[in-house]
A = this chain, B = another copy of it.
């Protein structure tokens, strides 16, 4: 199979000064990968014409597809359009359909007067194909050169995503004959990357050359991704399925899910498919468990609500943790999380509940209760299980590890209770 290479160029001083994190590249890479395109490079450069031209030279030296985001906005620092026009040898003209669309957006959607600056969004090089942007004022622009293509998209993530789905992916699929690629990912929790590698090393060493394995660790979880490439779709699929089954058997003690799904969604689906409901009582995670669960649409089917009991007062007042327990055992104690979990379950009348209380840092540690100490409790209608953990990271990671550990504890309890996905 001939590999088709793509390069992703993100343009904007803000990326080089580090004030924004680039999420567009990951989205684009994932979308291209799914249709069998190999990403050769991702490059971030400044809003500078020379740098843009040099990056294009480099990209075209190894890639047939160059996707660009950023620098198409209406402000003075946005120069992508002009730079591309020059690179491909065009001159700037007013594109009437785009102007009509911009006018429509201002009159009908934004309901604000349009200013001269917005008209500039409709000025494009005359040597490109204009791809309509339903979601915003800046259209995407496609240039062709010696059977290679370059498409520039706005950097606003939801506009870029719409343009990718609506235009870019089908253009690429039609223009470039590709082979087949398959990915299969599983999620493990509770084992470190190096121990996982040790566990599967004999199998990994014997993988066929058309299969690649990647370790993707994050906050106490490791995702393992197998990728298979080839010219025959059936072979590609059979081979990856075969190896994936072996991998699943090897890691079964740590396996969360044999799919590329985040833990909070695994837990949500487990609740949904078994008609169960959840309540949360969070101290140290400050609402992050509830927030993670409700990020996904349809959370109201399975999540009744939660209490962020960040103070003694709120633990006592809403969750009825006795003041005596708080004053003698402290907020970070077995007794407190047991009260929290039992009482939030009763209060919201749910099937399951999670409670966490810990010292996330940098302050708050005492002689008896070191930084990173966390109590987690989970409950169903009959039982409460509380466990103590000692995390050793900074505040952000301690919070993330607490979230992951708590959700995974509940997942295991649900499976013990006979719930299935």
Contacts and interface: CB of A to CB of B under 8 A. Distances in A.
A304 B311 contact: yes
Interface stretch (A74-82, A166-174, A241-249): A74-82
Contacts of A13: 212, 214
A115 B75 contact: no
Interface stretch (A25-33, A84-92, A406-414): A25-33
A293 B311 CA distance: 14
A144 interface: no
Contacts of A289: 287
A193 interface: yes
A39 B13 CA distance: 9
A392 interface: yes
A382 interface: no
A20 B216 contact: yes
B109 A77 contact: no
Q: How many copies does the complex hold?
A: 2
A364 B223 CA distance: 33
A308 B288 contact: no
A305 B311 contact: yes
Given A29-B17, A75-B197, A295 B304 contact: no
Contact of A198 (B117, B307, B393): B117
Interface in A330-363: 347-349, 360-363
A13 to B, nearest CB: 5
A18 B32 CA distance: 9
Given A304-B311, A318-B305, A287 B297 contact: no
B286 A19 contact: no
A397 interface: yes
Contacts of A115: 194-195, 198
A117 B194 contact: yes
A396 B295 contact: yes
A53 interface: no
A18 B27 contact: yes
Interface in A33-60: 33, 38-46, 51, 55, 58
Contacts of A304: 310-311, 313-314
A394 interface: yes
A309 interface: yes
A14 interface: yes
Contacts of A323: none
A288 to B, nearest CB: 4
Contact of A193 (B18, B51, B74): B74
A329 interface: no
A201 to B, nearest CB: 8
Interface of A: 13-23, 25-33, 38-46, 51, 55, 58, 73-77, 109, 112, 115, 117-118, 156, 158, 183, 185, 193-195, 197-198, 201, 204-205, 212-218, 223, 225, 227, 260, 279-280, 282, 285-291, 293-295, 297-300, 303-311, 313-315, 317-318, 347-349, 360-364, 392-397, 399
- List the 6 closest pairs (A to B, CB-CB), nearest first: A286-B294, A18-B29, A305-B314, A287-B287, A287-B290, A18-B30
